[in-house]
Amino acid sequence: MLATRLHRAPQSLLSIATRSVSQRFYAAAAGEEKLKKTALYDFHVEQGGKMVPFAGYSMPVQYKNMGQLASHLHTREKASIFDVSHMLQTRVVGKDRKKFFETLVVADLHQLPVGQGTLSLFTNEQGGIIDDTIIMQQDDCLYVVSNAACADSDLAHIRKHLADFQNKGGDVDLQVIDDHSLVAIQGPSAAAALQELVGKDLNDFGFMHGKFMDLAGIPCHVARSGYTGEDGFELSVPTPEVVDITKKLLAYPGVEMAGLGARDSLRLEAGLCLYGNDIDATTTPIEGGLTWTIPKSRRETGGFLGADKILAQIKDKSLIKRRRVGLIVQGAPAREGAEILDKEGNVIGNITSGCPSPCLKKNIAIGYVKSGFQKKGTELSVKVRNRVQDAVITKMPFVEAKYHK
């Protein structure tokens, strides 16, 4: 009944959402000549995946049996599998690994317990965000996952500072994990589906924690995290086994494959940033609404790139010129680049991401406005195809997160 109901959703909403993400993903790969393939490429094609260029890879944007809108709602109600093997996985090793990596990110890695992870940010000397990343504390290393589109620039950045640190006698090294694939299973049924493979209850496995576990007898790293606002897991699986593990997860009742289209609209409902759209090298963590990623200890000691500018903005709010906000938009959906206006018609910012929310049946957007306009309930306007439409600042996430505590 769920699939029938979803496939009968209004065609206008379905086509608008699918067209938006397809255009973005095709545009993201403009000029790329030869696309890479993940180990699941053939499996995606067999499953009816519509393959599009994204971050140098050929990736599924949606599947024949379930379009983007249906896939989005299915993830919220049951569970979906996403291939995220294009993401960059690395290990930072050596006795000075925490000291070194704290010069590049805003996290306090010395206080992060083994088995726990954190969302953090790579920053530059100007206080801008080079990339967002998940860092997991393991017994003998830091396990780091960062964005596919930033992989080459992230590696160059890390290696440049790594060489300087090593030349000064630091004991640290970087290892790219190229023999494991990454798969995410997200949604209310994710834990039940994964339990079938691990053979034990996962209720005591908290959000943003990671463990080494056997999945159907295969040693894997499992992190309880994701990019949808739902409960779920990211599985680092030996590449030769990833198709088999994916098939076993897919065999659980109600689990379906999902593509980049649903992943994008899910993360937007969850108020999560897409690097290159909602945050970039010109955006400070404070402007991007990510001050919470900088713990008290790092605010006191600094020591990361751009700390002077970033910490100054924390102390003196007059230095913050713009703010990332969530908006509900009337009329047509507001897309990336649309102007945000005050009630006098003055341009005060721009939309960075936007789509119709499948869950709320409203148009949602993320954007930046001049400081002073960020208060919840502030009435503004957005210019969409030369038409001025009403909008209002609203809190994020747009749809309440359901992370397992």
For residues 264 and 325, state if they share a domain.
no
CATH code of 394's domain? 2.40.30.110
Kindly state whether residue 77 falls inside one of the protein's structural domains: yes
Domain boundary among 270, 297, 331: 270
- Report pLDDT digits (tens) over 146-192: 999 999 999 999 999 999 999 999 999 999 999 999 999 999 999 99
pLDDT at 33: 64
For residues 325 and 258, state if they share a domain.
no
Kindly state whether residue 28 falls inside one of the protein's structural domains: no
For residues 334 and 224, state if they share a domain.
no
For residues 208 and 325, state if they share a domain.
no
Kindly state whether residue 73 falls inside one of the protein's structural domains: yes
Kindly state whether residue 157 falls inside one of the protein's structural domains: no
Number of domains in the chain: 2
pLDDT at 240: 98
For residues 265 and 326, state if they share a domain.
no
For residues 199 and 332, state if they share a domain.
no
Kindly state whether residue 288 falls inside one of the protein's structural domains: no
For residues 195 and 54, state if they share a domain.
yes
CA distances (Å), 245 to each of 183, 220, 248, 251, in order? 9, 10, 5, 10
Kindly state whether residue 253 falls inside one of the protein's structural domains: yes
List the chain residues with pLDDT less than 50.
Answer: 1-32
- Containing structural domain, residue 248: 40-86+179-270
**Pair 305, 124: CB distance under 8 Å:** yes
For residues 187 and 62, state if they share a domain.
yes
End-to-end Cα, the chain, rounded Å? 31
For residues 266 and 333, state if they share a domain.
no
Kindly state whether residue 236 falls inside one of the protein's structural domains: yes
CATH code of 206's domain? 3.30.1360.120
- Report pLDDT digits (tens) over 96-112: 999 999 999 999 999 99
Kindly state whether residue 46 falls inside one of the protein's structural domains: yes
For residues 380 and 239, state if they share a domain.
no
Domain boundary among 242, 270, 298: 270
Count, residues in the chain: 405
For residues 266 and 343, state if they share a domain.
no
For residues 183 and 265, state if they share a domain.
yes
Give binding residues as ranges.
234
pLDDT at 71: 98
Give binding residues for substrate as ranges.
234
Domain boundary among 270, 301, 335: 270
Burial environment of residue 61 by CB neighbours within 10 A (0 to 12, 13 to 18, 19 or more): buried
